[in-house]
A = this chain, B = another copy of it.
Amino acid sequence: MLDERKKKVLAAIIQDYIAHAEPVGSRTIVKRYNLDVSPATIRNEMADLEEMGLIEQPYTSAGRIPSEQGYRYYVDCLMQRKNLSEDEVKFINTCFARKMQELKDVIQKASNVLSELTSYTAVVVEPKMEKSTFKFLKLLPLATNQALLVVVTNTRVIQHRTLNIPEDITHQDLEKVSQVLNSTLQGLTLEEVSRMSLNEIYDEVILQRYMWDKIVELVKDSLFSEEYEERIYIDGTINMLDQPEFKDIDKVKSILKALQEGKILKQVLLERPRPGLSVSIGQENRYEGINECSLITATYEVNGNVVGTLGIIGPIRMDYSRGVSAVDYVTKMLSGFIKKYIEE
């Protein structure tokens, strides 16, 4: 629907604005992007693009800046991925080369790498817990009426201190409960565990009914409490302050607030439906604070199942091309790496 030259002009405006954060004039386009026409011609094209809503003028006689629609068109139709440079690839590889003990270290590293690489803010949501499979749990006695519940899934260790255990439960009782639960739950996903009525696997040999119910309830509560929720890792928050569009302290504040509020951010990331890479621009993000930003996110997978989301947050004028490449690469890296840390 746009002819070749209009596309070229639009791409030039967007690229230039991304690079310099200043309105782009007709002369600049001709010079910098060597189109073989005069500025006047470009001006005509720009008038058309503006009518279509793809670019806009901050004031009557300034150059043009891309509108959110313009960015959208650019991302969908014009942009070509910029491959990562050799150095960048090398950088990523060395970062991941260090030996990491646990899944969470890998995830943390991913967000770290992503923010370093792009100079934007990086976010990684850890793998969905409900898809995790139960490996085992252990109830360790702490005091007469306290026990420490340790749960190990294939993705991570959840640990929770439980109070109010009836005083007359012995160490042996706890041990037995652990054993029964382990043999029953072994290999189930947490989703399945949550749907299960643990009370039913009561075995009168072990304990009195009321004790069993009590403990099982506590275990279940702990399993699906906050500790159970997917954690979110954020890196490079202060990179936001480098963006000229956020030199205004009030804007920065509302953004930082949104970033700090892990819950909102998590919701934003988890709401995105499509598997694979996705870009959302400005107002497309409905939450306060984040609607002045753009997000590039991708889902990472294990064995074909989407398990988590990661991405970068930057100004609407962000370098989508580079960003997409970076997110894409790190996602693949993470997907590949993560297998080692998730035992079946």
Residues of A within 8 A of B (CB): 101-102, 135-136, 138, 140, 142-143, 148, 150, 152, 157, 159, 161, 163, 237-238, 241, 247, 249, 252-253, 256-257, 260, 343
Select which of B136, B138, B161, B241 is within 8 A of A157 by beta carbon.
B161
CA gap between A189 and B48 in the complex, in Å: 76
When C-beta atoms are compared, the residue in chain B nearest to A239 turns out to be: B253
Min distance, Cβ A171 to any Cβ of chain B, angstroms: 12
Q: Is the CB of B241 within 8 A of A143?
A: no
**Of B135, B136, B247, the contact of A249 (CB 8 Å cutoff):** B247
28 A-B residue pairings within 8 Å (CB atoms): A101-B161, A101-B163, A102-B161, A135-B142, A138-B138, A138-B140, A140-B150, A142-B152, A143-B343, A148-B150, A148-B152, A148-B157, A150-B150, A150-B159, A157-B159, A159-B159, A237-B256, A237-B260, A238-B253, A238-B257, A238-B260, A241-B249, A241-B252, A241-B253, A241-B256, A247-B249, A249-B249, A249-B252
What CA separation (Å) do A163 and B136 show in the bound complex? 18
Query: Beyond the given A135-B142, A238-B256, could you list 15 further A-B residue pairs with CB under 8 A, ordered by the A residue number?
Result: A101-B163, A138-B140, A143-B343, A148-B150, A148-B152, A148-B157, A157-B161, A159-B159, A237-B256, A237-B260, A238-B253, A238-B257, A238-B260, A241-B252, A241-B256
User: Across the interface, which residues of B come within 8 angstroms of A136, CB to CB?
Assistant: 140
Q: Which chain B residue lies CB-closest to A140?
A: B138
Across chains A and B, which 6 residue pairs bring their CB atoms closest together, nearest first? A241-B253, A238-B256, A247-B249, A102-B161, A101-B161, A159-B159
Q: How far is the CA of A166 from the CA of B241 in the complex (A)?
A: 49
Q: A244 vs B157: C-alpha distance in the bound complex, in angstroms?
A: 44
- How many whole Å from A246's CB to the nearest CB in chain B? 8
Please give the distance in Å from A283's CB to the nearest CB on chain B. Answer: 24
A29 to B8, CA, bound (A): 66
CA distance A249 to B148 in the complex (A): 46
